[in-house]
């Protein structure tokens, strides 16, 4: 009789939990959310003579920016830390008249798990930074 009572009680608890949308398989877990890491790419864009080029549009996935007067740029994206993580960084001359005409270019950047640092060991996997300097070819005016 006692065994039937315990089986009925367990069935009732599980049924009520199911009706209320409670997932009992996650009881005792401390982590919630989606793992993420911060991926940074920075560098300098220059011409073949080593002069910095300002006003170059730099894109990496959904992130974009432009080079400053020293030709420097910095992009950051937060993404799922599946490794290796591959990004294409594209460079486009959007103000050709001001600094001359330069050919578009793109560079592949790969992040490996050892590149990540500073994570908490759980969901936040840390951050990684790569420096990518690019030389753009000048086009004839």
What confidence tens digit (pLDDT) does each residue in 4-27 have? 767 777 777 777 776 676 555 554
In a domain, residue 49? The reply is yes
Tell me the pLDDT band of 28, cut-offs 50, 70 and 90.
very low
Residue 19 inside a domain? The answer is no
Q: Look at the pTM and tell me if it is higher than 0.85.
A: no
Is 126 inside any structural domain?
A: yes
In angstroms, what CA-CA distances link 107 with 132, 134, 137?
8, 8, 14
* Residue-wise DSSP of 11-49: HHHHHHHHHTT--GGGTT----S--EEEEEEEEEEE-TT
Q: HSE on the CB side for 118, CA within 13 Å? A: 8
Q: What is the CATH number of the domain that holds 117?
A: 2.60.40.1120
Beta-strand pair 134-135/124-131 = unpaired
pLDDT confidence of residue 24: 52
Cα-based torsion angle of the residue sequence 91, 97, 100, 102 in order, rounded to the nearest 10 degrees: 30
Question: Which tens digits make up the pLDDT trace of 117-141?
Answer: 887 766 678 899 999 999 999 987 6
Tell me whether residue 115 is in a domain: yes
Domain count across the chain:
1
End-to-end CA distance of the chain: 95
Look at residue 18 and tell me if it is in a domain: no
Give domain status of residue 27, yes or no.
no
Tell me the average pLDDT across 43-55. Answer: 94
Domain hosting residue 105, numbered range: 36-139
Sole residue written with tokens 């991926």: 39
Q: Has residue 11 been placed in a domain?
A: no
Residue 29 lies in a domain: no
pLDDT tens digits for range 53-98 = 999 999 998 899 999 999 999 999 999 888 889 999 999 998 867 7
Both structure tokens of 26: 């996650």
């Amino acid at each position: 009789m006692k065994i039937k009572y315990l089986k009925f009680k367990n069935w009732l608890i599980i049924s009520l939990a199911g009706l209320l949308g409670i997932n009992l398989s996650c009881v005792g877990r401390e982590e919630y959310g989606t793992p993420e890491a911060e991926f940074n790419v920075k560098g300098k864009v220059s011409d073949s003579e080593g002069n910095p080029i300002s006003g170059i549009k730099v894109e990496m996935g959904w992130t974009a920016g432009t080079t400053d007067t020293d030709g420097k740029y910095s992009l950051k994206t937060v993404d799922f830390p599946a490794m290796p993580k591959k990004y294409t960084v594209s460079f486009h001359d959007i103000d050709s008249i001001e600094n001359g005409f330069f050919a578009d270019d793109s560079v592949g950047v790969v992040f490996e798990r050892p590149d990540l640092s500073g994570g908490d060991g759980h969901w936040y996997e840390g951050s990684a930074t790569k420096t990518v300097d690019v030389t753009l070819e000048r086009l004839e005016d």
